């Protein structure tokens, strides 16, 4: 992002603004980082960039609290905490997502067809790596 150091904020794309915001947060060396729908209104490339940044931050040991209702973004989580009206209604480990597809649908999470197909295959005893579908 160094090439943008002399640009005004209004000259940056949404994805660039997100990256600058993340850099600003990292400059204060936080223990936890909270991201509320960080990929909202980004194009697919920008969304992938943000997800890759989150993966790198996790690998560096940062605790990320990532708020989203987009299923392919929850796959980068170690655990998913579903809240309603400020209360935890369910906690799901990353490897339990497929078993909880119906619950996730019921609370408004859009499930990609590839994940629904993976669930149907798993129900029939065919185990595939659903992460490869995302």
State the 10-residue block means of pLDDT for the chain, 134 residues long: 75 84 90 91 89 92 89 82 90 84 83 77 77 57
CA–CA dist 133, 124 (Å, integer): 18
Query: What pLDDT does 28 receive?
Result: 93
Residue 41 has what pLDDT? 87
Query: What are φ and ψ of residue 93, in 5° steps?
Result: -75, 155
Concatenated DSSP letters for 57-109? HHHTT-EEEEE--BHHHHTT-SEEEEEETTEEEEEEEGGGTGGGHHHHHHTTP
Q: In the prediction, which pLDDT does 62 show? A: 93
Q: Is the dihedral of CA 52, 57, 60, 63 positive or negative?
A: negative
> How far is the C-alpha of 112 from the C-alpha of 67, rounded, in Å?
19
Q: What pLDDT was estimated at residue 16?
A: 85
Q: Which residues pair with 83 in a beta bridge?
A: 88
Q: Using a cut of 0.95, tell me whether the model's pTM lies above it.
A: no
Task: Name the CATH superfamily for 1-68.
Answer: P-loop containing nucleotide triphosphate hydrolases (3.40.50.300)
Separation between Cα atoms, residue 72 and residue 74, nearest integer Å: 6
What are the residue ranges spanned by the domains of the chain?
A: 1-68
Give pLDDT, residue 30: 93
Q: What is the pLDDT of residue 116?
A: 78
């Amino acid at each position: 992002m160094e090439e943008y150091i002399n640009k005004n904020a209004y000259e940056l794309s949404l994805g660039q603004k997100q990256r600058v915001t993340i850099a600003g947060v990292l400059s204060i060396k936080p223990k936890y980082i909270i991201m509320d729908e960080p990929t909202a209104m980004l194009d697919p490339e920008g969304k992938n960039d943000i997800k890759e940044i989150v993966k790198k931050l996790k690998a560096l040991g940062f605790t990320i609290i990532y708020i989203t209702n987009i299923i392919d973004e929850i796959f980068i989580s170690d655990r998913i905490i579903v809240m309603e009206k400020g209360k935890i209604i369910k906690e799901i480990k990353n490897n339990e997502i497929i078993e909880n597809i119906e619950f996730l649908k019921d609370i408004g999470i859009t499930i990609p067809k590839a994940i629904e197909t993976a669930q149907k295959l798993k129900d029939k005893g065919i185990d595939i790596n659903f992460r490869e579908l995302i």
